[in-house]
Amino acid sequence: MFDPDNIDPDYVSFVWGSYTCRSEPSAEDYLDFARQELVNGYSERTLINALSHAKRALHLRMEDVCQAFGGTSLTKNKPFPVLASYLKQCGLPSLGALEKLNSARNAIEHKYTVPEPEMVEIYIDVAHFFIFATDRWAGRHPCDIETSEKNEAADRHLRNVSFDWKNGSVTLQISDKNSGAYEYPHSITYTNKQPEFFKWVVFATKHST
């Protein structure tokens, strides 16, 4: 009935809610640990430790952002590709380079080889850029979209799009043309098992500022 692809983002407003990424240690802390390792040179120990810390920084931030945007089924220790796929569905940063680097890291980790200094530095840089790109979602995220979109028959109005991030769902609150203020006799709910959920998430992540 209502499709975010047909809604002009200039005629909606966003209500924000707070969200706090994990800390002590945080993703930024792990990234600092990785950098500190390389201050001591490029020994086998420092290279292996630096890569491991950078991986933790990246994985921790990916988990936090997925959870923030309704990834309720994405419990801790989910594989990297699962997290990357969820981020992509939400319209959030999910660089292809991340998957390539993670594959390289897995090969090194499982074969017990020492990574090249260049690879470690690249991994740290990519983790840094990913964390920087997702910082806007580290403390808050959109929880409601207020609009007055009409359906084709002009007899119903979409008044509010409400995200329940904790339970991974979004509800469209719809009024009739004669409904009073804050009366929503109709509603539609989509869960993160449905493509419609992700269409609304992409709308929110793309157009909220």
Instruction: Encode pLDDT of 30-49 as tens digits.
Output: 999 999 999 989 999 999 99
- From the number of C-beta atoms within 10 Å of its C-beta (0-12, 13-18, 19+), residue 199 rates as middle
Number of H helices, E strands in the chain: 6, 5
With a cut of 70, say whether residue 96 has pLDDT above it.
no
**pLDDT band at residue 95 under the 50/70/90 scheme:** low
pLDDT at residue 104 above 70? no
For 69-94, the pLDDT digits (tens) are 999 776 666 788 888 889 999 998 86
Residue 151: pLDDT over 90: no
**Cα–Cα distance for residue pair 142/69, rounded to 1 Å:** 9
Q: Residue 111 contacts by C-beta under 8 Å, 6 or more apart in sequence?
A: none
Residue 27 scores a pLDDT above 70: yes
Structure confidence at residue 184 (pLDDT): 82
8-17, 74-83, 92-101: least confidently modelled range: 92-101
Q: Which helix (H) or strand (E) holds 146?
A: strand 140-150
3 state SS for 11-49? HCEEEEEECCCCCCCCHHHHHHHHHHHHHCCCCHHHHHH
